[in-house]
Amino acid sequence: MRATADPLRATGPSSVTTNAARGGTRAVPFAQEQAARAAFVAIAGGCVLAIAGLLRARSIPSTCVNVHRSDDASDAAIWAVSGVKELQEAPPVIGRDPDAHSLRRRMEALLRRGQEEICAAVEKCDGKATFRTDAWMRDDGGGGISKVLVDGAVWEKAGVNLSVVWGAMPQAALAAATEKAPEYIKKMKLKPGDRVPFFACGLSCVMHPRNPHCPTMHFNYRLFEINDKVWWFAGGTDITPAYLDEEDMRHFHGTYKKICDKYDARFYEKFKKWADEYFRIPHRGETRGLGGIFFDDLNDRDQDTLFKFCEECLLAVPGAYLPIIEKH
């Protein structure tokens, strides 16, 4: 049965789509301010820096953004990230916070752990191809690790990409990144023209199997921090099958419902609906895929609780997805 927009009786998912992967670079002579803004907005939109690795090209990572954000965010898609250089090997820590117990360091460590564990599980399942790793650093602050698998036995292409960036951006970039920008700007007592310091780290993934009965999967988990009082988590995992298998969808959604219910009985319904709406294709009047969870601006409780929630969601990816792949 082909997947349609009709919701499943068991779980009710209705729509999701993955972010577009862009390859190559585009040299545009914008100022460094715009490049820094592009870097921040790219992560804010849930996209990957260095997604160009999907084409197996060693090039400056290009930025991509989710069009749901704003015109500012979509404009950032054509801005090259300046001052990026390739490394022979990733440093043990990309972020510069000296406190190993800080939220920034803990989040980077979690994302790197998730990247390694997910890639190892996918390689084992594929049985043929391995992930190629490229590390890069950004002169203006930050870096990342791109892992790309191409021409596997199971997956045609898969990318699992980490970005850790920081710097200062114009207030317009914050507005493109979060609907709560006016609230945050007021809380920080910023004047017009003041730049906004930021730290952002995220892990993004898109996987495309060869077999049409094996669904495409996407996830992104990220942290934004302006200062110790202005921060939020965002992310989600979603699935896009070409052919519908209700048992598969019950397994996938059931995995994330179980995690959500541990933290708040309202989380799953809220975040599933958010994913459905976030990835709807308005101009087509239709939905793609069978959903998942999505959340943004999540800072309504203490950092440790929300960190653990993100940790469980991220590390659940192999268990939620790979049994479906192995089945088909």
Catalytically annotated residues: 218
Distance, CA of 64 to CA of 39 (rounded, Å): 9
Tokens at 201, concatenated:
């780290």
Helix axis angle, 103-126 to 303-315, nearest 10°: 10
Segment (H or E) for 321: helix 317-327
292 backbone φψ class: left, alpha, beta (φ>0; ψ -120 to 50): left
Tokens at 205, concatenated:
């993934």
Segment (H or E) for 85: strand 84-87
* Phi, psi of 146, rounded to the nearest 5 degrees: -105, 130
Q: Please report how many Cα atoms fall inside a 13 Å half-sphere around the Cα of residue 44, on the Cβ side.
A: 35
- In 3D space, the residue among 196, 191, 163 whose CA is nearest the CA of residue 178 turns out to be 196
- In 3D space, the residue among 29, 27, 53, 42 whose CA is nearest the CA of residue 76 turns out to be 42
Tokens at 328, concatenated:
């088909």
Q: Measuring CA to CA, how many Å separate 57 from each of 62, 86, 289?
A: 12, 12, 29
Distance, CA of 42 to CA of 296 (rounded, Å): 15
Distance, CA of 128 to CA of 196 (rounded, Å): 46
